Amino acid sequence: MKSHLIRTFLTGLVAALVMLVPAQAQRSDYQARLAAYEAAYGPYERQASAYWDAVGAKRRIRNAKHRSGERILLEDYVLTQPPVYDGPPRPVDPDAPARPPVEREVIPTIDDFIAAAADQFGFVPDRPKTESEFMRAYARAASAAGLTRDQIVGIYVFETGGNGTHDTQAGVSATRTRPISPAVGYNQLLSTISAATLHSHGSQLLTALQQKSKTLSGAERQAMNRKIEALRRMIAYARTVPYQWAALDKLAKTTRGGWGLHAIVLDIDLGPLVQVQKLVTSVQFARTRRYNKPLTAAELELMNLTGDGNGIDMVLMPQALRERVPTANFFQRNGYERNPVARRTGVVANLISDMDAKMAKGAQQPGAKELAAAFR
């Protein structure tokens, strides 16, 4: 009996040792790969952090010069490309506990915007009977605001590929139903912009609807007046927060009322006005920087894409500087690393050339041709 117990113990010990050896080897391999990763990534991260700190510092210098009317020089930009990590990937710790599933940010869809607008404000967007109807309304609004056919069609092509609809949402296609952002429309208007437009230009939108109401009668006029009252409620809600990007962004993205505000981009009366206002704001911003020449479609899109401050910085840049200044100067680090076009083109001149080429090619698409024809 005693010898049996000894044999059982020895057998179990051997089995445990057999299992331990691979585990130790796996742990040793992990430690070696982790050391190699840290040896490569540590210097890269220090270099990258210093690079992006320099980009931020140079941007602050340029902003100060813009405010004081000073000339921007080549030395006011970082002239090297961002460092690229080409070392081994971070290894997975075999002993680390399983991570809980990452909760995805909820991105509302067109249906969500419409439902929220109805239950929060009693607003139901009047959708166009055809896409051509929306295009004609958009062209009229753009022309009245002083925007050109080439600007509008170019931005439409860049943002939607040349065949987008008034309710095109970022990331949604014939093969994909999940959006990647709340951006909607011909120039991919963010929900935060809808909230900001209601906050700052709500009175203009009300005036436009009131003027149209005067041309209507009967049931149509009653329906328009109901829309006007709903719009008043939406404007009041947008103005419950300060006119600050962070506050408006939180309102637009995290409240049901904020979701509902974005439904205005789908309305045949309001959608064209709101989209046009975003572009007009960029044109007006350019004028505050003493740039009074007509913006090309690519230049206006730079402001639409990267924000007015960064966009006008590139617009004002002489060609000689455009050919030398890296695109990284106009992005935050995370945004740059997620933007393959900015990384691929490298410098401002290439970015603008790439945009021009995309606009020229997309202008041959049926949607782009129809939008261009709406200006005649």
If asked whether residues 268 and 132 sit together in one domain, one would say: yes
The domain boundary residue, chosen from 76, 98, 118: 76
In a domain, 86, yes or no: no
**Do 229 and 332 belong to one domain?**
yes
- The reply to whether 87 falls in a domain is no
> What confidence score (pLDDT) does residue 6 get?
57
Of the residues 26, 61, 76, the one at which a domain ends: 76
End position of a domain, from candidates 59, 76, 93: 76
Largest Cα separation within the chain, whole Å, is 107
pLDDT at 60: 94
> CB of 264 within 8 A of CB of 270?
yes
Domain co-membership, 32 together with 158: no
Sign of the alpha-carbon torsion through 105, 111, 117, 119:
negative
* Residue 100 forms part of a structural domain: no
Q: What CATH number does the domain containing 132 carry?
A: 1.10.530.10
Q: Check whether residue 71 and residue 114 sit in a common domain.
A: no
Q: Is residue 96 included in any domain, yes or no?
A: no
Based on the fold, state whether residues 129 and 205 are members of the same structural domain.
yes
Taking residue 105's Cβ as centre, other Cβ atoms within 10 Å add up to: 7
99 in any annotated domain: no
Q: Looking at the structure, do residues 124 and 248 belong to the same domain, yes or no?
A: yes
* Three-state DSSP state, 255: coil
Asked if the structure places residue 84 within a domain, the reply is no
Are 220 and 345 in the same domain?
yes
Rounded distance, CA 301 to CA 282, Å?
9
Half-sphere exposure of 372 (CA within 13 A, CB side): 18
pTM value is: 0.83
pLDDT in 10s for each residue of the chain, 376 residues: 555 555 555 455 444 444 544 667 777 788 888 888 989 999 999 999 999 999 999 999 998 998 888 899 999 999 999 999 999 998 888 877 877 766 677 899 999 999 999 999 999 999 999 999 999 999 999 999 999 999 999 999 999 999 999 999 998 887 888 898 999 999 999 999 999 999 999 999 999 999 999 999 999 999 999 999 999 999 999 999 999 999 999 999 999 999 999 999 999 999 999 999 999 999 999 998 888 899 999 999 999 888 898 999 999 999 999 999 999 999 999 889 988 989 999 999 999 999 999 999 999 999 999 999 999 8
Q: State whether 347 and 222 are in the same domain.
A: yes
104: left (phi over 0), alpha (psi -120 to 50) or beta: beta
- Contact between residue 195 and residue 245 where contact means Cβ atoms under 8 Å apart: no
97 within a domain of the structure (yes/no): no
d(CA 367, CA 239): 36
Give me the number of domains the chain comprises.
Answer: 2
Q: Which domain holds residue 223?
A: 110-373
Q: Are residues 54 and 125 in the same domain?
A: no
Q: Are 131 and 251 in the same domain?
A: yes
52 and 172 both lie in a single domain: no
DSSP annotation string for 261-309:
HGGGGGSTTTHHHHHHHHHHHHHHHHHHTT--SPPPHHHHHHHHHH-HH
Let me know if residue 85 belongs to a domain. Answer: no
164 and 215 belong to one structural domain: yes
